[in-house]
Amino acid sequence: MSLNYILRAKKFKAKKSLGQNFLIDENVISFIANNAKKDDEILEIGPGLGFVTEQLIENTSKVVALEIDKDAINILNKNLKNKENFCLIEQDILKTDINSLPFTKDKIKVIANIPYYITSPILVHLLGEIDELTHKNRDRISEIILMVQLEVAKRIIANENSNNKEYGQLSILSQMYCDTEIIKIVPKNCFMPSPKVDSALVKFTINREPKVKITKLLKRTVKAIFMARRKNVKNSLLNAGFVNVEKALEKANIDKTARGENLSIGQIQKLSIALEEFN
Ligand code: SAM
């Protein structure tokens, strides 16, 4: 832990309501900042007291940071106002169109140690829904480095072979247009104040094409089969209002007693095509 960061974090009254857990471990801070390269343009979501921001400014060509806490903004303005490649905007990420920000490059990288209670809304805001072949924010991003609770990180990277019910809608949303990997586990004592659980950094590398060809019923199928995790696929689909479910399962070559959590993205897509034929 770095004394410098600890002292600066201690001076600030962290707001629980804004999910303020500041990183105080210099190795983790450098690890995040070193993911960015000299000519990268970075969107940092929630810079807080600026510990990661300061290194990003040194490492990259441009940092645009979005923060909603006025007290943090005052500190950032005081410490970083002379930095020419830094632009601080008082704005909620969930209300921000990335194309409206002062970037010059076609593709930017996002770095975000965000409040955990908005993890899913932020992901949907950045990546779009699974059936949106183009999405204004996703189309502008090449990579996202996101700090999330470790449990959520496992759900993001999970597939049909994972354990413990980790695989679900969040996995499909995250992986439909991205390659995802956990690049670092971050213990809770690396933050001040310390959260209740450990965290992890997840890297999303964004691809232009979706993992599988998007079909009309894909989103509805995904929702249906993961909604009631304990039910088999047949009952989940019937509950969601699909008809001729047995026929569709047979056509997609899926056992009607299988559970959604055992189906790969490819199988789910085949099932959605079959459902489309019979519904
Ligand atoms: N990046 C800093 C760090 O690593 O120490 C701070 C991380 S803290 C977990 C999350 C930050 O996001 C806080 O500074 C908080 O004020 C800010 N924040 C919360 N909601 C936000 C939102 N909707 N848009 C932008 N920033 C937000």
Q: Are residues 224 and 179 in the same domain?
A: no
Q: What is the pLDDT of residue 205?
A: 98
Instruction: Show which of 206, 237, 259 is a domain's final residue.
Output: 206
Q: Does the beta carbon of 21 lie inside 6 Å of ligand 1?
A: yes
Tell me whether residue 245 is in a domain.
yes
Residue 22 CA: which ligand 1 atom is closest? 5
Mean pLDDT of 47-68: 97
Tell me whether residue 10 is in a domain.
yes
Q: How many CA atoms lie within 13 A of 128 on its CB side?
A: 20
Q: Are residues 121 and 14 in the same domain?
A: yes
Tell me whether residue 256 is in a domain.
yes
Q: 22 CA distance to ligand 1 centroid (A)?
A: 9
Residue-wise pLDDT tens digits, 129-162: 999 999 999 999 999 999 999 999 999 999 999 9
For atom 20 of ligand 1, the residue with the nearest CA is 18
Q: Does the beta carbon of 52 lie inside 6 Å of ligand 1?
A: yes
Q: 165 CA distance to ligand 1 centroid (A)?
A: 29
User: Crossing angle for the helix pair 119-127 and 169-176, nearest 10 degrees?
Assistant: 30
Residue-wise pLDDT tens digits, 5-21: 999 999 999 999 999 99
pTM over 0.75: yes
Q: How many domains does the structure of the chain reveal?
A: 2
Tell me whether residue 12 is in a domain.
yes
For 63, the 3-state DSSP assignment is strand
Q: Are residues 35 and 75 in the same domain?
A: yes
Tell me whether residue 37 is in a domain.
yes
Tell me whether residue 212 is in a domain.
no
Q: Are residues 192 and 232 in the same domain?
A: no
Q: What is the pLDDT of residue 164?
A: 64
Residue 199 belongs to a domain with what CATH number?
3.40.50.150
Q: Are residues 82 and 58 in the same domain?
A: yes
Residue-wise pLDDT tens digits, 77-118: 999 988 999 999 999 999 999 999 999 999 999 999 999 999
Q: For residues 118 and 94, is the Cβ–Cβ distance under 8 A?
A: yes
Burial per residue of 89-128, b for 16 or more beta-carbon CB atoms within 10 angstroms, e otherwise: eeeebeebebeebebeeeebbbbbbbbbebbeebbbbbbb
Q: Which domain range does residue 253 map to?
A: 218-278
Instruction: Show which of 161, 178, 206 is a domain's final residue.
Output: 206
Tell me whether residue 213 is in a domain.
no
Residue 94 CA: which ligand 1 atom is closest? 23
Q: For residues 111 and 45, is the Cβ–Cβ distance under 8 A?
A: yes
Q: Are residues 143 and 252 in the same domain?
A: no
Q: Does the beta carbon of 19 lie inside 6 Å of ligand 1?
A: yes
Q: Are residues 142 and 177 in the same domain?
A: yes
Q: Are residues 24 and 118 in the same domain?
A: yes
Q: 146 CA distance to ligand 1 centroid (A)?
A: 12
Residue-wise pLDDT tens digits, 180-219: 999 999 999 999 999 999 999 999 999 999 999 999 999 9
For atom 3 of ligand 1, the residue with the nearest CA is 22
Q: Does the beta carbon of 45 lie inside 6 Å of ligand 1?
A: yes
Residue-wise pLDDT tens digits, 235-274: 999 999 999 999 999 999 999 889 888 899 999 999 999 9
Report the distance separating Cα 214 and Cα 218, nearest Å.
7
